[in-house]
Every structure is written in structure tokens, then in C-alpha cells.
Amino acid sequence: MGVNALELIAKDGIKENAPKFNVGDTVRVHVRITEGNNSRIQNFEGVVIAKKHGGIAETFTVRRIAYGVGVERVFPLHGPSVTQVDVITRGKVRRAKLYYLRDKVGKAAKIKTKFDTKPVGKK
């Protein structure tokens, strides 16, 4: 098994309609949750604070504040559990990783929004 075989496998698993979003964007991630025999979709909305790796193994970290406690989840971009990612707002940031938001609370943790000419979610 050479490098070419691994590349073919990676191309097979990559989602064609993967959403385009960056660090600093507020996103709503639709996650498939399996509880026993039942399966349902749960939403997780927050700010993307990091994107890591690339290709088939690409992951992104989303942070939100729930009941005064910061909650972070790492999602695989091309995994079967992530069914959909909606971009709510585009953020204007100057860093690749926003780990400094962990220490900020309230208004200090806000991210400026980028004003695009085209609406969010449209191609």
C-alpha cells in the first residue's frame, strides 16, 4: 500500500459539499446523536476557535457558553456524525487559533463581524 492508495482512500471519504468557514465564524453544527436504538440530530452553536490537520482528518473546535460555563467540542469535518454546518456570522480575527477566548468573559469575548457583500450560506 503506497502513498497513492492512501490518497485514493482519503479522496473517497472527503465530503464534496463541506462548508467553507474559518476561525472566528459563528457556526451551528448539526450532530447525529445515537442513544440506544434511537438516533436524533442535536445542534451545537458557537464560535470556531481552531481548525486543525487537513484533508480527511480535518477537525474544528467550537466554543460556546452554556449556563455560565464554557463548553468546547471538537468535531471531525468529514465524519459521519456531523450532518450539516451552518455559518451564522463571519468573524473578523487576526489569529489562527482563538484560545485566548477561554480567559475572556462577557463583552470581552465578543468577535467583530465581517461585513460581506454576499449573504452567508450562499455560493
In a domain, 62, yes or no: yes
Q: At 122, is the pLDDT very low, low, confident or very high (cuts 50, 70, 90)?
A: low
Query: What CATH number is attached to the domain comprising 56?
Result: 2.30.30.790
* Cell digits of residue 69: 460555563
Q: Output the pLDDT for position 70.
A: 94
In a domain, 35, yes or no: yes
In a domain, 115, yes or no: no
Domain region containing 50: 3-109
**Could you read off the pLDDT of 21-62 as tens digits, one per residue?**
999 999 999 999 999 999 999 999 999 999 999 888 899 999
The answer to whether 113 touches 100, Cβ cutoff 8 Å, is no
Q: Output the pLDDT for position 17.
A: 78
**Could you read off the pLDDT of 74-115 as tens digits, one per residue?**
999 998 999 999 999 999 999 999 999 999 988 999 999 987
Q: Output the pLDDT for position 74.
A: 97
In a domain, 123, yes or no: no
In a domain, 122, yes or no: no
In a domain, 117, yes or no: no
Percent of the chain with pLDDT over 90: 66
Q: Which residues are CB-contacts of 109 (< 8 A; sequence separation ≥ 6)?
A: 65, 101
Q: How many domains does the chain have?
A: 1
In a domain, 28, yes or no: yes
3-state helix, strand, coil in the chain (%, to 5): 20, 40, 40
Q: Output the pLDDT for position 121.
A: 62
